[in-house]
Structure 1
Amino acid sequence: MNFPDFPDFSVKPVLTGEKTVLRPFTVEDADVMWEIINDPEVVRFTFEPTTELTLEGLRSWYGVRTADPDRLDLAVTDRATGELVGEVVLYDWDPSARGCTFRTLMGPRGRGRGLGSEATRLVVGHAFEQVGLHRVQLEVYADNPRARRVYEKAGFVVEGVRREAALRSGVWVDDVLMAVLDHEWGSHGGDASDGWGPLNTP
């Protein structure tokens, strides 16, 4: 299959799993995302200490996510209730590697039920199977083992560690670099859980 040199993120899909539905953002989602990004765990593992966010800024941000052709931001919703619980993002296109960076954040009502695992699998699968990427990479703080386990279950492999790369609450923390390649994804389909059932939580 031939894919273009630049990923086509102009089409914002709806991706449906057993537990989650990933859909394009709307400006109305900003209020819920404001609550989510102010959760202490999200603040700790997602944002730089100097990051300043406002509700109005979020409304502007999420109001134009569907118009951005070079990145894909999708809202993660609980399929059973329709509740918005987080987001998944593909961004920072690297044409030489035919790859993108992935990030996600989940609010407190989306944790511990396998929603993040499924959302990761859905959007990364879309990146490889529909967009035609060769590589998807991410960075995760070493003191966030829950997120790292989600990524490992989805097939991400540790490629390196930037030692003491971030000062978090007065403590130096390593930054772990991880990635998964298209042919790896083709062999496991996003379930590299070493005997764990697909998308099951510990």
Structure 2
Amino acid sequence: MSNRVTVRPATLQDCRTVWEWRNEQATREASFNTRYIPYEEHKGWFARRLTDPHSRIFMVANAQGRDAGYVRFDLVNQEATISVSIDSNERGKGYGTAAIKSASDLLLGTEPVHRVIAHIRRDNPASVAAFERAGFVLQGYTQFEGVDACEMVYGGKASAGARTNGAQEPG
């Protein structure tokens, strides 16, 4: 199995594909916002994100050149928050880890960003493991949008530290 991926900027033509992935049941369950998103609402959001100077959306293709997922970054100051979704037919093949690492490295190499932050639901160990394999370091545990979450960081001083950087399970 090859988990090589290519990353390209998303375009308006990717809108429906991203919407379909976003509304997959497993994706919604792993998201902080679990509600179904109507297509008309998504179209407006997607178009705004593509032109927002503080947002980057990348499509990720598998080794055969088929779209396998997307990675979105929200840029604030010199940090970016990452959001990822992989097509349900492509999960478990290493594309998530490859997408996270490839897109994060691309962003850090092309934008004035020094680190990438991931907030991951605590009840999503597969995603936590994918981010760890991509080189993200656990910083601690927090509430994010009212949900228990892990905070992980890639790049900057955080990634150079210990694997857990002192983070402990809450008592």
TM-score bin (small chain): 0.7 to 0.9
TM-score, normalising length: structure 2: 0.79
Q: CA deviation at 1:32?
A: 2.1
What is the alpha-carbon distance in structure 2 between the residues aligned to residue 163 and residue 58 of structure 1?
Answer: 26
Q: CA deviation at 1:76?
A: 1.8
The equivalent residue for 2:102 is: 122
The equivalent residue for 1:99 is: 79
The equivalent residue for 1:178 is: 152
Change (3 A) 1:26 1:181: closer
Q: CA deviation at 1:18?
A: 6.3
What is the alpha-carbon distance in structure 1 between the residues aligned to residue 139 and residue 69 of structure 2?
Answer: 26
The equivalent residue for 2:24 is: 39
Q: CA deviation at 1:64?
A: 4.6
One-letter code aligned to 1:177:
E
Aligned-pair Cα RMSD in Å: 2.7
The equivalent residue for 1:83 is: 66
One-letter code aligned to 1:32:
T
TM-score, normalising length: structure 1: 0.68
What is the alpha-carbon distance in structure 1 between the residues aligned to residue 49 and residue 71 of structure 2?
Answer: 12
| Structure 1 unaligned regions, length at least 5 | 1-16, 167-172, 193-202
Change (3 A) 1:65 1:165: closer
Higher Rg:
1
What is the alpha-carbon distance in structure 2 between the residues aligned to residue 127 and residue 21 of structure 1?
Answer: 14
Q: CA contact under 8 A between 1:25 and 1:65: conserved in structure 2?
A: no
What is the alpha-carbon distance in structure 1 between the residues aligned to residue 9 and residue 3 of structure 2?
Answer: 18
CA deviation digits over 1:108-166, x for unaligned, max 9? Answer: 02211111111111111123233242221111011111110111112212212126974
Q: CA contact under 8 A between 1:26 and 1:62: conserved in structure 2?
A: no
The equivalent residue for 2:167 is: none
What is the alpha-carbon distance in structure 2 between the residues aligned to residue 174 and residue 117 of structure 1?
Answer: 22
Change (3 A) 1:79 1:161: same
TM alignment of 1:139-150, pairs within 5 A: 139-150=119-130
TM alignment of 1:47-62, pairs within 5 A: 47-49=32-34, 51-62=35-46
What is the alpha-carbon distance in structure 2 between the residues aligned to residue 79 and residue 56 of structure 1?
Answer: 32
TM alignment of 1:53-72, pairs within 5 A: 53-72=37-56
One-letter code aligned to 2:118:
L
2:115 paired with 1:135: yes
Between Structure 1 and Structure 2, how many residues are aligned?
A: 160
Q: CA contact under 8 A between 1:157 and 1:180: conserved in structure 2?
A: yes
What is the alpha-carbon distance in structure 1 between the residues aligned to residue 158 and residue 150 of structure 2?
Answer: 19
Q: CA deviation at 1:100?
A: 1.5
